[in-house]
Amino acid sequence: MQELINNFLGVLPFEFLNYTFMKNAFIAILLATPIFAILGTMIVNNKMAFFSDSLGHSAICGIAIGTLFGITDTNISMILFACLFAIALNMVKHKVAYGADTIISVFSSIAIAIGLAILTAQGSFNQYSNILVGDILSINWHEIVYLFITFVIVFVVWYYMFNKIHAISINTSLAKSKKINIMLVDDVFVILIAVVVMVSIRWVGILLINSLLILPAASSRNIAKNMRQYHLIAVAISMFSGLTGLIISYYHNIPTGPMIVIIAGIIYFITFGLKDKIKE
């Protein structure tokens, strides 16, 4: 399969696709950006930007705990920890009376502190410090397989559960009246976010992962007139930002992750300026 895809990409009239690392990065962007956009729409609707950001920060703790248990594949330890982290955070969030942002900050702070303490004590923090900024050009085929599996899972779950997730985002009382299990749907949603964040974080970086989830969705919300447009525009913006950022970074020797975020940020401000005219 890998050889077949590489041969197909090699036929395309783009000079940068002559290199294996660029082919891998190109495939990763095609798989990851639609996922970011789709999940981002509901993250923005549910005002969960801080939540997804805290999941990214928890990656350090996932890696650290994985090293304690001898898990050599850090992707597995990060995903397992992030899923547990997301479920626990969601559970506590539903049981407290004060703001969810306070709970998220508490969980995030503790997770980062534990992760840094363990990795520093082991003298291995420098080994994983590159996860802060990420490097999409270093992504390998093994990680692309993770992305592809995640891509399929997200779209299958989204197909069957979108209406329930959307109903909860509009009105929880309405969702309860339709006999929707709010806690279960919320848990599935936050687990999806956790998996996507952890699978992508090595090439996006902890510092930028939330930007790629939020910016395309926020831009789309500025100009979309209905839910269908909201999703389609978000996907288009996310993929455009990803591919354009990759190409510019290749020709101008700029880090890919920051370049993608810069383009997505520019698009956000353009849509923000146009939103009143488009929605008239």
Count the alpha carbons within 13 Å of 96 in the hemisphere toward its beta carbon.
14
Asked if residue 176 lies in contact with residue 182, where contact means CB atoms within 8 angstroms, the answer is: yes
Q: What is the pLDDT of residue 235?
A: 94
Q: Is 181 helix (H, G, I), strand (E, B) or coil?
A: coil
**How confident is the model over 253-270, as a mean pLDDT?**
90
- Return the structure tokens found at 43: 């993250």
Residue 37 sits at the vertex; the CA angle it makes with 34 and 40, to the nearest 5 degrees, is: 145
Residue 129 backbone phi and psi in degrees, to 5: -65, -25
**Band (256; pLDDT cuts 50, 70, 90):** confident
pLDDT score of 98:
56
The rounded distance, in Å, linking the Cα atoms of 262 and 256 is 10
Task: Give the residue extent of every domain in the chain.
Answer: 20-205
Is the per-residue pLDDT at 243 higher than 80? yes
Classify residue 76 as left (phi > 0), alpha (psi -120 to 50) or beta. alpha
Select the more confidently predicted residue: 171 or 162.
162
pTM of whole model > 0.75?
Answer: yes
Report which of residues 98 and 106 the model is more confident about: 106
**What number is the average pLDDT over the span 189-193?**
89
pLDDT of residue 237: 95
CA Rg, the chain, in Å?
19
Show Cβ contacts of residue 239 under 8 Å, excluding neighbours closer than 6 positions.
29, 30, 33, 34, 37
Dist CA 43 CA 165 (whole Å): 11
Question: What is the topology classification, in CATH, of domain 20-205?
Answer: ABC transporter involved in vitamin B12 uptake, BtuC (1.10.3470)
